[in-house]
Structure 1
Amino acid sequence: MVGMCITGGFALATALEPSVVASVMSQPVLPAPIGRRGRAALGLNAEDFSTIAARADDGLRVLGLRFTNDRGCPPERFETLRTMLGASFEGIELDSSPGNAAGIAPSAHAVLTVSLVDEPGHPTQVALDRVLALLAAQLRR
């Protein structure tokens, strides 16, 4: 499952379903990142968190993508995922600070679409390649 922006968090919610073996959350913006609690929120209740954590212990993998300067998808959200899922969560945070080496705009948001630079070695292309590799590996299990 791959979710982007508004549907980014939905990709994690679908992992409640046993047939989902990989969840990719690209710049998940919901729930709205308002206040400290909102920045860390994933929109799941405690029971759902518990179910997904148990599934992670059984092989579910979750990949998150975000640009570092993206206020719509704050770093606290990925910290929640690291705490909840441990090694089953892989977060890729692409440097979009002003003047970054890759020339990524500070306003960049859509890792896999609008802001993707289709050039070998570019950080966004490396992120896309990682998404494809994860999906291929998990679907072949």
Structure 2
Amino acid sequence: MSQPVMPAPIGKRGRAALGMDAQDLSTITERAGDGLRVLGLRFTNDRGCPAERFETLRARLGTSFEGIEIDSSPGNAAGIAPSAHAVLTVSLVDEPGHPTRVALDRVVAFLAEQLRH
């Protein structure tokens, strides 16, 4: 998942919500115990995809969840706008070593790993 924004992050519950029904989340949690891996991407300052979403995923999936959180705080070293949202598209800087490019490379590697299973 990349910067999941739905449901709207309104209120404490909405900020932590994953936007899936309980049965789907239960199935994913169960499959995580059988080796399923989930990769998530977000910018740290993204109001549309608050940190609480990744906290929920870590709590439910433990080490089966790999979260990549790219610094978008004001004045960050990579010059990423605090309003950045789309890690793999609009906000991608396709330069070796840039945090968004590192994230893209990890997504490609992750997909390759999963397809080999």
The TM-score, its normalising length taken from structure 2, stands at 0.97
Please give the alpha-carbon distance, in whole angstroms, between the structure 1 residues aligned to 2:85 and 2:25.
Answer: 26
Which amino acid in structure 2 is aligned with residue 76 of structure 1?
E
Equivalent positions of 1:84-123 (< 5 A) are 84-123=60-99
**Deviation of 1:74 (Å):** 0.2
Indicate the residue corresponding to 2:20 in structure 1.
44
Indicate the residue corresponding to 2:42 in structure 1.
66
Please give the alpha-carbon distance, in whole angstroms, between the structure 1 residues aligned to 2:76 and 2:11.
Answer: 27
**What is the RMSD of the two structures over their aligned residues, measured on CA atoms?**
0.8
Structure 1 stretches of 5 or more lacking a match?
1-24
Please give the alpha-carbon distance, in whole angstroms, between the structure 2 residues aligned to 1:44 and 1:105.
Answer: 29
| Number of positions where the alignment pairs a residue of Structure 1 with one of Structure 2 | 117
Which amino acid in structure 1 is aligned with residue 30 of structure 2?
A
Q: Report the identity percentage.
A: 84
4+ long deviations beyond 4 Å: none
SS at match of 2:67: strand
SS at match of 1:53: helix
Structure number with the bigger relative contact order (C-alpha 8 A, sep ≥ 6) is: 2
Please give the alpha-carbon distance, in whole angstroms, between the structure 2 residues aligned to 1:50 and 1:44.
Answer: 10
Aligned partner of 2:102 among 115, 121, 126: 126
Structure 2 stretches of 5 or more lacking a match?
none
The TM-score, its normalising length taken from structure 1, stands at 0.81
Please give the alpha-carbon distance, in whole angstroms, between the structure 2 residues aligned to 1:58 and 1:129.
Answer: 25
Please give the alpha-carbon distance, in whole angstroms, between the structure 1 residues aligned to 2:9 and 2:89.
Answer: 22
**Deviation of 1:60 (Å):** 1.3
Greater share of residues in strand: 1
Please give the alpha-carbon distance, in whole angstroms, between the structure 2 residues aligned to 1:47 and 1:115.
Answer: 33
